[in-house]
């Protein structure tokens, strides 16, 4: 049997359409968190200790709930060295903002462990953390990273754009 070029081309086109159809039908099953950092506030709590408060928007574009396992705030200095902050609990963040009025009010709820972000939902959240560095080190940073680990092991990062 002799194979002609038009038949080969038609066969490859059918295979390509099947592959693209499969990818398109599974696009909503990929659980991820996308978004961006909206506002960054830094303040000094001691001579060699400071806090950072980040407000961010996060979207779950998938058809399944996104369940948070852990949330971390990472400081990346101008040399690229990363330092993990000690995350502050939601009730303590409220007290912190009351004690340091220059940081402003609490705009959003803290993204909590075991929080579920519904399918195709967008939420505004915050994270606050203490760093054992002077306030100047936070101000001279390259960027902050919000690292969110989903219960099934998917790691997502929201990076500050400076």
What CATH number is attached to the domain comprising 72?
Answer: 2.60.40
Least confident piece of the model among 6-10, 64-68, 83-87, 147-151: 6-10
Residues 87, 16 within the same domain: no
Residues 68, 20 within the same domain: no
Mean pLDDT of 79-103: 94
SS3 13: helix
Q: How many domains does the chain have?
A: 2
Token pair listed for 49: 């200790």
Q: Are 128 and 53 in contact (CB under 8 A)?
A: yes
Burial of 18 (C-beta count, 10 Å sphere; 0-12/13-18/19+): exposed
Backbone φ, ψ for residue 31 (5° rounding): -75, 125
Q: In percent, how much of the chain has pLDDT > 70?
A: 92
- DSSP state letter for 43: E
Tell me the C-alpha to C-alpha distance, in Å, between residue 160 and each of 13, 55, 76, 81, 120. 42, 11, 10, 15, 23
- Extended strands (E) in 11-95: 34-46, 49-59, 66-76, 82-84, 86-87
- Which position has the higher pLDDT, 13 or 77? 77
Residues 22, 35 within the same domain: no
Q: Which domain holds residue 55?
A: 31-159
Residues 78, 9 within the same domain: no
Residue 26 CB coordination number (10 Å): 10
Q: Are 49 and 133 in contact (CB under 8 A)?
A: yes
User: Is the full-model pTM beyond 0.85?
Assistant: no
pLDDT, residue 3, reads 61
Q: How far apart are CA 3 and CA 59, in angstroms?
A: 50
Residues 71, 133 within the same domain: yes
Q: How far apart are CA 64 and CA 35, in angstroms?
A: 17
């Amino acid at each position: 049997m002799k194979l002609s070029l038009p038949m080969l081309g038609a066969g490859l086109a059918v295979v390509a359409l099947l592959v693209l159809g499969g990818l398109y039908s599974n696009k909503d099953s990929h659980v991820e968190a996308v978004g961006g950092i909206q506002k960054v506030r830094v303040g000094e709590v001691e001579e060699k200790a400071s806090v950072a408060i980040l407000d961010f928007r996060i979207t779950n574009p998938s058809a399944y709930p996104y369940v948070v396992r852990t949330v971390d705030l990472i400081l990346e200095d101008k040399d690229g060295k990363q330092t993990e902050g000690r995350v502050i609990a939601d009730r303590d963040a409220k007290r912190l903002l009351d004690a340091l009025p220059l940081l402003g009010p609490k705009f959003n709820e803290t993204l909590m462990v075991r929080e579920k972000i519904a399918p195709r939902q967008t939420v505004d959240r915050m994270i606050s953390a203490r760093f054992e560095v002077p306030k100047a080190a936070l101000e001279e940073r390259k960027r902050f990273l919000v690292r969110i680990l989903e219960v099934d092991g998917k790691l997502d990062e929201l990076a500050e754009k400076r």
